[in-house]
């Protein structure tokens, strides 16, 4: 059963091509090369253990780019590239509220982090347009 998030544009349901392809089992076919490499890195570095191989795990990546998130200190941030770099490179700096399990140090270099972020971006925004 598909559990991806649905985006509505002008009253019509729309999903990102990456989310739709993931639901159909062919995500790699539609990802740009950098995003495809990011998916590979995320799986091999163990990120998929919590975030899921398709970004739809317990701490989902699908639909998070561009969304607001509350941090454990009560502040709110937008999930943009800068936030994702901090969250991946320094996992205990900006911790999302409600998550008791700390993200481990992943040992990724700047280029690998950039590719993982390309993958997260490809999974689409959690935005409803009216």
Decide if 130 is inside a domain.
no
CATH of the domain at 86: 1.10.760.10
Domain that holds residue 42: 7-122
How far is 22 from 82, CA to CA, in rounded Å?
26
Q: Taking 90 as the threshold, does the pLDDT of residue 63 lie above it?
A: no
Decide if 101 is inside a domain.
yes
Looking at the structure of the chain, the number of domains it has is 1
Is 35 strand, coil or helix?
Answer: helix
Decide if 31 is inside a domain.
yes
Decide if 19 is inside a domain.
yes
Q: Taking 60 as the threshold, does the pLDDT of residue 60 lie above it?
A: yes
Whole-number mean pLDDT of the chain?
78
Q: Taking 80 as the threshold, does the pLDDT of residue 23 lie above it?
A: no
Decide if 127 is inside a domain.
no
Decide if 97 is inside a domain.
yes
Predicted confidence band of residue 29 (pLDDT cuts 50, 70, 90): low
Q: Taking 60 as the threshold, does the pLDDT of residue 10 lie above it?
A: no
Decide if 32 is inside a domain.
yes
Predicted confidence band of residue 119 (pLDDT cuts 50, 70, 90): very high
- Report the chain's C-alpha Rg in angstroms: 14
Decide if 129 is inside a domain.
no
In this prediction, residues 64-80 reach a mean pLDDT of: 93
């Amino acid at each position: 059963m598909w559990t991806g998030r649905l985006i509505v544009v002008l009253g019509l349901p729309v999903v990102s091509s990456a989310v739709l392809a993931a639901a159909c089992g062919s995500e790699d076919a539609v990802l740009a090369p950098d995003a495809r490499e990011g998916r590979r890195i995320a799986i091999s570095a163990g990120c998929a253990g919590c975030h899921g191989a398709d970004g739809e795990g317990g701490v989902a990546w699908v639909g998070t780019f561009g969304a607001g998130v509350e941090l454990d200190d009560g502040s709110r941030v937008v999930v943009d590239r800068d936030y994702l770099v901090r969250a991946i490179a320094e996992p205990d700096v900006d911790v999302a509220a409600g998550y008791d399990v700390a993200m481990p140090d992943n040992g990724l270099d700047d280029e690998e982090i950039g590719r993982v972020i390309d993958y997260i971006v490809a999974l689409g925004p959690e935005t409803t347009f009216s």
